[in-house]
Structure 1
Amino acid sequence: MFERNRLVPELMVTSLDSSLVFWVSHLGFKIAYQRPEDGFAYLDLNGAQVMLEQVDPDAGQWLTAPLTQPFGRGINLQIDVEAVAPIIRKLDQAGCSLYRECQDTWYRADHLEVGQREFIVKDPDGYLVRLVERLGERPVCS
């Protein structure tokens, strides 16, 4: 059995099959395990983990309000990857457009700036997924 992270988001999805195409085929996640009879899959990409659960009105799921797309309003999931370019190519080949084009960004973290090459894409239900390639650190420019 693999090691589970201490924080793993579980995303409600309208179609587990469509979501698996996106997360596995396009982003490169692996299925750690799944329960197809429950519409559930636990995914992993080098320690970045997410659970997907297909919405089933008869399953007693933990829904606090009716779901309307885009799902996940107000959240984006940042996922560290070794390189963003191969993922962007896969998404392009699959006809998936980027929500935000790839760019290098530097964020201040106390007395350092942390760099990342990043882009954002929506999954089939509208969740924002931000893929990040680390560029290192540098002193804050004053």
Structure 2
Amino acid sequence: MKSEKVKWAALVPELVVSDLTASLQFWCDYLGFTILYDRPEESFAYLTLGEAQVMLEQYDPTDRSWETGFMEKPYGRGINFQIEVEAVELILNRLQQVNYPLFIPVEERWYRADDIEFGQKQFLVQDPDGYLVRLIEDLGERQVKN
């Protein structure tokens, strides 16, 4: 890890994965994350992209486990991780180059919060274990139309 001061996120999901190498290919090569630090002897990596951070740890049934239920793909059912990026097109291009399937194709969506709408260009993709990842590009805000 570099000696520069890291701004640690207040909430960092740690995802149990079945194959750390395959997961690193998806998260780093396709989505653009980098490894902030890792512990290869524990099959663990801490990743960062902009202000987003995520931890990946390969499943080891012999290790102390925090499992709350049977590990069955797709992992993380019922959750999606929204990650804001500068531009979704770069990531889409990398995914298209390797024919990686999208869960929901790119779309423009506006979400209301009281009298303002927040816009985002977004798409959803599943990682190799089925975790749902929503990549978004900020489109700004607008007043709600009456």
Q: List per-residue Cα deviations over 1:49-75 (Å, max 9, x = no partner).
A: 000010000011211111000000000
1:50-129, aligned counterparts within 5 Å? 50-129=54-133
TM-score norm. by structure 1 comes to 0.98
- 1:37 and 2:41 aligned: yes
Q: List per-residue Cα deviations over 1:14-55 (Å, max 9, x = no partner).
A: 000000000000000010000011010000001100000100
**Distance across 2 between alignment mates of 1:16 and 1:104:** 32
The Cα shift of 1:94 comes to 1.4
Q: Which ranges in structure 1 are unaligned for 5 or more consecutive residues?
A: none
Q: Which ranges in structure 2 are unaligned for 5 or more consecutive residues?
A: none
**Distance across 1 between alignment mates of 2:106 and 2:57:** 29
Identical-residue share of aligned pairs (%): 54
Structure 1 moving runs of 4+ over 2 Å: none
TM-score norm. by structure 2 comes to 0.96
Q: List per-residue Cα deviations over 1:92-142 (Å, max 9, x = no partner).
A: 111201000000000001110000000000000000000000000000011
- 1:16 and 2:20 aligned: yes
SS of structure 1 residue aligned to 2:83: strand
Provide the aligned length of Structure 1 versus Structure 2.
142
**Distance across 2 between alignment mates of 1:95 and 1:59:** 35
Q: Which amino acid aligns with 2:28?
A: V
